[in-house]
Amino acid sequence: MSPRGSRRSGLASYLVLIGVLALAWYLGKIPGLPGPETVIPKIKNLGTSIPSLEAARTLVPDVPVIGTFLPDEKATPGIPPPASSAGGLPDMPVKPKPRQTTFQGCPPEGDGGDPELNLLKNRVDEGDYAPVTFEAIAGLTWPEDVERRDRENWQPQDRAFIEKYEGIPVVVEGYIVMARESGPESTNCHGTESDMVDWHVWFTKNPNDDRSVAIITETTPRVRANHKWTIQLLKAHAIEPRAPVRISGWLFFDPEHPEHLGDTRGTLWEIHPIMQIEIFVDGRWVPLDELAG
């Protein structure tokens, strides 16, 4: 008999054995096991617990939960590149899992506040950044119910909406109109030194736009540790000459300060953390690090 025939014969024997055992169980000939009169009603009851698959989908939206935060050595293992949509936000149902590190003793979830928010802000992994237009982010909406709420209190449908976009690695062109150090916050364990605070970088579509229409983009201490960026460098090469800037980073939603909309920001969507800053100099994009001298 050929090896393939031998495998078929073995498989048939297993099937016969399983059939005999199933018949014996059904007839109640196997002591110690609950009989069919006990098990079958329970299986039928499962159908009443979950009325339909469609109903189950409304409870568990078909959107990946990016908040698993498992360490991941490579940025995007097995993640297909996002489908291009000509400058719009790509459809990216499977997002890279954030990778975080403890920085100067500060764990990635920070020292309080909303740990889920802090874990997202403290990611350090690089992504396959999708080129998108400024308008694609500035025009993105959000459910009003998520404003000023910790993520653990979001409704599932609201969470699903945000997570459809949050965690997409993007690269956007625009202008930096203002940048400054932020203050102590739970994300960075309330550190007060310059190397322990975020920078707020106001990013606009046009060189002379007001920050009331800006997208807030933020550099974090953990990412800056790998760069030579300084506020002075940003001012000298991006803000004062109003040179075109290209920012790469992670699309992120910050629900904390809706009161600033139309005042110091144009949207609650952010690029946070910034992973790369490039300035358009002499006809080419130059990483800010190269301008540090």
Partner 1 sequence: MRKGIRLILKLQLEGEDEPAHDFAASSIQAVREMLETGAPFHPALELTIRSIKEDTDWEDDEENPA
Binding mask 237-256 for partner 1 (x = CB under 8 A): -------------------x
Considering only 91, 152, 263, 290, the residue that binds partner 1 (CB under 8 A) is: 263
Considering only 19, 93, 112, 262, the residue that binds partner 1 (CB under 8 A) is: 112
Kind of pairing between the strands at 169-181 and 130-131: parallel
- Size of site (CB under 8 A) for partner 1: 27
Long-range contacts: 257-262, Cβ < 8 Å, 24+?
A: 258/147, 258/148, 262/212
Interacting residues with partner 1 between 187 and 206 (CB under 8 A): 189-192, 200
CB of 257 to partner 1, least distance (A): 6
Here the tokens at position 97 are: 């899992």
Distance CA 111, CA 130 (A): 32
- The residue (of 123 and 265) whose beta carbon lies closer to partner 1 is 265
Considering only 133, 186, 230, 276, the residue that binds partner 1 (CB under 8 A) is: 186
CB of 102 to partner 1, least distance (A): 8
Establish if 183 lies at the interface with partner 1 (CB under 8 A). Answer: yes
Distance CA 196, CA 114 (A): 18
Distance CA 155, CA 272 (A): 23
Here the tokens at position 57 are: 């989908």
- The residue (of 156 and 183) whose beta carbon lies closer to partner 1 is 183
CB of 189 to partner 1, least distance (A): 5
Long-range contacts: 104-111, Cβ < 8 Å, 24+?
A: 104/191, 104/195, 104/196, 104/221, 105/189, 106/188, 106/189, 106/191, 106/196, 107/189, 108/69, 110/185, 110/186, 110/187, 110/188, 110/189, 111/186, 111/189, 111/190
CB of 93 to partner 1, least distance (A): 32
Considering only 179, 234, 238, 275, the residue that binds partner 1 (CB under 8 A) is: 179
User: Which positions touch partner 1 (CB under 8 A)?
Assistant: 104-107, 111-113, 178-183, 185-186, 189-192, 200, 216, 256-257, 260, 263-265
